[in-house]
């Protein structure tokens, strides 16, 4: 594990979320799905701290497999789930989304909030389709340009940090090409970002003193703060979009 990886985990280890989101948004997206079985088998890919995992367990009658590579996140999910009486509904699995070996046609629903970028939007949709049932659905949130011509400062930032980021209409074409029918889509509200960025900004500030002599760590903290500052400045130009889709 590199120093950079270590500080990433230290930043996010005790944060409530690993990406913008809220229980309300998770619930809103889930309730838009109209063709799920009464007790769906759900795979939550890149579940992180698992706030959406727990909400899915609360609002559905299904079983959930929560997949992530960071065991402390999975431990936290298990602890909260047991405390809320949801332990039998959630199974955690320490495994990379790049190395999944699930049975073909196993899941009714695949869920990925703020995580599909790790494998790539297009690749993820194509590869995950094979483990969905014939009428299975996928719900993902993807960082998306909301306007065609963003200011140069924010465009260059994401050109370096997430060059695969596309405009909404391009994502819809990718969904169609991958063999899905779009059910619905919506932009996450600013409050979802504040749920994520407010505790993150406090954590960045708290770690600066600890890592003041560590150049690599300091650079990562600076980059994280820059990301937060740029969102405050340019939020109308980009955001996370929830895409709800079903196999054609």
In a domain? residue 194: no
Beta bridge partners of 63: 41
The pLDDT value recorded for residue 219 is: 93
CA distances from 77 to 29, 54, 87, 114, 129 (A): 21, 7, 9, 17, 26
The domain total for the chain is 1
Helix (H, G, I), strand (E, B) or coil at 132: strand
In a domain? residue 218: no
Task: Give the separation between CA 176 and CA 87, rounded to whole angstroms.
Answer: 37
Structure-block tokens of residue 198: 């407010």
In a domain? residue 89: yes
Is the pLDDT reported for residue 7 higher than 90?
no
The pLDDT value recorded for residue 107 is: 98
Domain CATH for 65? 3.40.50.150
What's the mean pLDDT in 207-233? 94
Task: Give the separation between CA 19 and CA 120, rounded to whole angstroms.
Answer: 16
Task: Give the separation between CA 54 and CA 39, rounded to whole angstroms.
Answer: 16
The pLDDT value recorded for residue 4 is: 64
Is the pLDDT reported for residue 45 higher than 70?
yes
Model confidence, pTM: 0.95
What DSSP state is assigned to residue 188?
P
81-106 per-position pLDDT tens digit: 999 999 999 999 999 999 999 999 99
In a domain? residue 143: yes
Write the DSSP assignment of 141-156 as a string of letters.
EEEEESSSS--HHHHH
What is the torsional sign of CA 220, 237, 191, 169?
Answer: negative
In a domain? residue 132: yes
Is the pLDDT reported for residue 1 higher than 80?
no
Strand extents, DSSP E, the chain: 41-45, 63-68, 90-94, 107-112, 132-145, 166-167, 180-187, 238-247
In a domain? residue 125: yes
Tell me the Cα Rg of the chain: 18
What's the mean pLDDT in 10-15? 88
The pLDDT value recorded for residue 94 is: 98
What's the mean pLDDT in 147-172? 97
Task: Give the separation between CA 6 and CA 232, rounded to whole angstroms.
Answer: 27
In a domain? residue 31: yes
Is the pLDDT reported for residue 2 higher than 80?
no
- Average pLDDT score, the chain: 95
**Distance in angstroms between the alpha carbons of the first and the last residue of the chain:** 41
What DSSP state is assigned to residue 219?
H
What's the mean pLDDT in 9-22? 91
In a domain? residue 229: no
What DSSP state is assigned to residue 102?
P
**Which helix (H) or strand (E) covers residue 23, if one does?**
helix 23-31
Structure-block tokens of residue 142: 């993807």
67-78 per-position pLDDT tens digit: 999 999 999 999
Q: Which domain holds residue 169?
A: 18-148+164-189+238-247
């Amino acid at each position: 594990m590199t120093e950079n990886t270590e500080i990433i985990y230290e930043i996010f280890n005790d944060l409530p979320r690993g990406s913008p989101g809220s229980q309300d948004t998770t619930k809103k997206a889930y309730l838009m799905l109209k063709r799920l079985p009464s007790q769906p088998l759900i795979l939550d890919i890149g579940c992180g701290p698992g706030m959406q995992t727990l909400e899915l367990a609360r609002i559905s009658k299904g079983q959930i497999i929560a997949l992530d590579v960071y065991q402390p996140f999975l431990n936290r999910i298990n602890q909260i789930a047991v405390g809320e009486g949801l332990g039998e509904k959630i199974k955690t699995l320490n495994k990379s989304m790049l190395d999944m070996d699930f049975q073909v046609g196993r899941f009714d629903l695949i869920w990925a909030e703020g995580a599909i970028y790790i494998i790539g939007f297009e690749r993820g949709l194509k590869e995950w389709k094979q483990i969905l049932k014939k009428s299975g659905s996928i719900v993902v949130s993807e960082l998306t340009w909301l306007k065609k011509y963003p200011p140069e400062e924010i465009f260059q930032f994401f050109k370096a940090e997430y060059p695969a980021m596309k405009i909404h209409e391009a994502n819809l074409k990718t969904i169609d090409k991958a063999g899905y029918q779009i059910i619905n889509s919506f932009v996450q509200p600013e409050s979802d970002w504040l749920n994520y960025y407010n505790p993150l900004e406090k954590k960045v500030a708290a770690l600066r003193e600890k890592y003041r002599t560590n150049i690599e760590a300091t650079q990562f903290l600076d980059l994280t703060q820059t990301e937060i500052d740029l969102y405050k400045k340019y939020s109308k130009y980009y955001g996370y979009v929830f895409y709800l889709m079903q196999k054609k």
